[in-house]
């Protein structure tokens, strides 16, 4: 029997597809740059993410774990628009819900930093400082979404209790994440076994983006430069771009080791196949 409880995360597609929301982070970049991402998609819909510093592969990894934990009945509960408990009311207030979001439900994760670190594959789950820093970084992100004619505003998540003595974790996920986790409408299935076996940051960034783009058991064609842009959204010199291409090629080898099929059918042009759903 597996020692892990999480099998998959049912993630919101907008959080997975927004270009540059999660990216490769270079040394010192978090001190220099801010997070400013706008993702526009069909029907005049758009979602905007903003924060004091960019988000990287570790932040992506931690959010995947939180989304997966929220899908377990033993680890989560739902807060209605009119909260019946004081704690629920506090969490909804900390999410800073605005406009249509005021009338939407949110899920609360009740777990521990150590369990989260273990479930997303950190080598030493007792070292929870990295996870805590990621949660605090995610909490600082504000979101404004216009979807199906409704305008909503909220924080990415709200952390109420993170006790350094008890390792407790108690936080709320925004309405869009909640909607996907509860199986309403479009969502992205992310295999947590694959997440735990990934090593490189570029592979993690590509994995989530490709999970949102390639259905289980299906194949799609993509150019190398498109894959590079998934991890590195900024423009650079030709020499630096070539180095990034090399890093992406190595990241694709990690996906191959997980059972994804990667075929370079022409120079810089790949057909990528995702494993069929078997669990």
Domains of the chain listed by start with CATH number? 8-191 (no CATH), 199-273 (1.10.10)
Rounded Cα–Cα distance for residues 219 and 260 (Å)? 10
pLDDT at 55 over 60: yes
What are the residues whose beta carbons fall under 8 Å from the beta carbon of 145, sequence distance 6 or more?
A: 14, 46, 47, 48, 151, 152, 153, 176
Torsion of CA 84, 86, 90, 92, to 10 degrees: -10
pLDDT at 125 over 50: yes
Percent of the chain with pLDDT over 90: 80
SS3 at position 212: helix
**What local confidence, expressed as pLDDT, does residue 43 receive?**
87
Nearest CA to 2 out of 231, 235, 193, 157 is that of 193
pLDDT at 112 over 70: yes
Half-sphere exposure of 31 (CA within 13 A, CB side): 2
**What local confidence, expressed as pLDDT, does residue 162 receive?**
52
pLDDT at 1 over 50: no
Q: Is the dihedral of CA 210, 190, 252, 219 positive or negative?
A: negative
pLDDT in tens, 71-97: 998 778 888 887 767 888 888 999 999
Q: Sheet of 269-273: strands edge to edge?
A: 219-223, 269-273, 261-266
The dihedrals phi and psi of 3, each to the nearest 5 degrees, come to -85, 0
């Amino acid at each position: 029997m597996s020692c892990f409880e999480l099998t998959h995360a049912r993630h919101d597609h907008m959080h997975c597809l927004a270009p540059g929301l999660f990216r490769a982070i270079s040394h010192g970049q978090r001190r220099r740059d801010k997070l400013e991402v706008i993702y526009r998609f069909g029907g005049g819909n758009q979602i905007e993410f903003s924060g004091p510093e960019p988000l990287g592969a570790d932040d992506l990894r931690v959010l995947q774990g939180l989304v997966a934990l929220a899908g377990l009945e033993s680890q989560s509960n739902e807060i209605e628009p009119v909260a019946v408990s004081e704690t629920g009311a506090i969490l909804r207030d900390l999410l800073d819900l605005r406009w249509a979001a005021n009338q939407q439900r949110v899920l609360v994760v009740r777990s521990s930093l150590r369990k989260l670190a273990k479930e997303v594959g950190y080598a030493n789950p007792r070292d929870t400082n990295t996870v805590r820093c990621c949660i605090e970084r995610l909490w600082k992100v504000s979101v404004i979404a216009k979807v199906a004619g409704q305008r909503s505003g909220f924080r990415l998540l709200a952390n109420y209790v993170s006790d350094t003595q008890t390792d407790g974790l108690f936080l709320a996920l925004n309405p869009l994440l909640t909607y996907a986790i509860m199986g309403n409408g479009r969502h992205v299935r992310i295999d947590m076994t694959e997440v735990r076996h990934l090593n490189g940051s570029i592979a993690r960034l590509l994995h989530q983006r490709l999970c949102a783009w390639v259905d289980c058991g299906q194949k799609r064609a993509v150019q190398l430069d498109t894959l590079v842009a998934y991890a590195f959204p900024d423009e650079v010199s030709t020499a630096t771009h070539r180095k990034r291409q090399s890093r992406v090629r190595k990241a694709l080898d990690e996906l191959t080791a997980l059972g994804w099929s990667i075929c370079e059918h022409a120079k810089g042009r790949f057909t990528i196949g995702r494993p069929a759903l078997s669990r």
